[in-house]
Structure 1
Amino acid sequence: MIDKKRKLGKKIGDLQIGDSYTASHIIEDRDLLLYLGLTNDANPLYIQHDYASQTPYKRPIVPSVMLFGMVSSLVSMHLPGPGSHIVQHEMRFKKPVNHNSEVKFMIEIIAIDINNYQVTLSVLGFDAEGDEVINGKLLVCPAYEPESITASSLENFF
């Protein structure tokens, strides 16, 4: 691990208000089963068609925390990117998402706090019909520039 360089995301000085990232994801049954197995969540609203058909939802829905996980992935892999960390989140799940649905996620930097080394991102998610399914804000700590391992381990040789 030490010898392999990993590309880090943007540092706070590289970010600007208005920077954004958009991605779409189709939530397939396979994704749901992996998530539900990992979390040991057996809520019948998420997996049982017969139960869900008797609710106002009519069909099984995607767990809201799974949708948040997709948003979290956008932050940690794209904006600001690897090395970043969500320190606070506020999400509203305005409309349920059904299995095998496509969701378009959009994140955008709306504020930068250099003194606290944090950025605020807005989050929006829309289903295939264009209806808003997610609306929220994230407080994110972007990647830090790592200290050089070589410089500190060889400091006696300079």
Structure 2
Amino acid sequence: MLLGKIQKKGKNINDLIVGEKLTITEKIEDKDLLLYLGLTNDNNPLYIQHDFASKTIYEKPIVPPIMLMGIITAAISKYLPGPGAYITKQNISFLAPAYHYSTLKFTFEVMEIDISLNEIVISVIANNEQNNAVLAGTFYVNPPAIEQ
């Protein structure tokens, strides 16, 4: 945590351009899953029990969708547009399960900029190692406000 330390703000609305992209890669590790499960107290056996998951259509444990959302919101907060950004609306579809130990490539793209509302629209797609989409979404984001 950066208590007491002033962090640089992310990009404001005038610093962004339509078509601007960000790509991040995340490997889903046991520690990440355990932190999520401990934080949320979500004990769905589909997320952690191999014997339970083997009897489902998924055949093995899957990554909780809300954990994938955390990766997205963290990237928006850290990189595009960055510190000071605020997500106001989201629309996301989970197209296929992500499995433990998978490596996911998240691609973010600025699709629209509305200066009057101080709002950008970011599309997000995440693909697994086989380049299959596991999620697709649209996020409405207020970049850090321009200081008056």
TM-score (norm 1): 0.89
Corresponding residue for residue 57 of structure 1: 58
- Residue 57 of structure 1: CA displacement? 0.3
Distance 2:3 2:96 in 1: 44
User: Identity, % of aligned pairs?
Assistant: 44
Question: Aligned ranges for residues 9-158 of structure 1 at < 5 Å?
Answer: 9-146=10-147
Letter of the aligned partner of 1:134 in structure 2? L
- Residue 144 of structure 1: CA displacement? 1.6
Distance 2:40 2:131 in 1: 30
Distance 1:2 1:128 in 2: 37
Letter of the aligned partner of 2:121 in structure 1? T
Q: Give structure 2 stretches of 5+ with no counterpart.
A: none
Equivalent pair of 2:10/2:83 in contact (CA under 8 Å): yes
- Residue 2 of structure 1: CA displacement? 9.2
Count of aligned positions: 147
Distance 1:95 1:39 in 2: 22
Change (3 A) 1:138 1:51: same
Q: Give structure 1 stretches of 5+ with no counterpart.
A: 148-158
**Per the alignment, in what secondary structure is the counterpart of residue 69 of structure 2?**
helix
Aligned-pair Cα RMSD in Å: 1.5
Tell which structure's C-alpha radius of gyration is larger: 1
Distance 2:15 2:25 in 1: 25
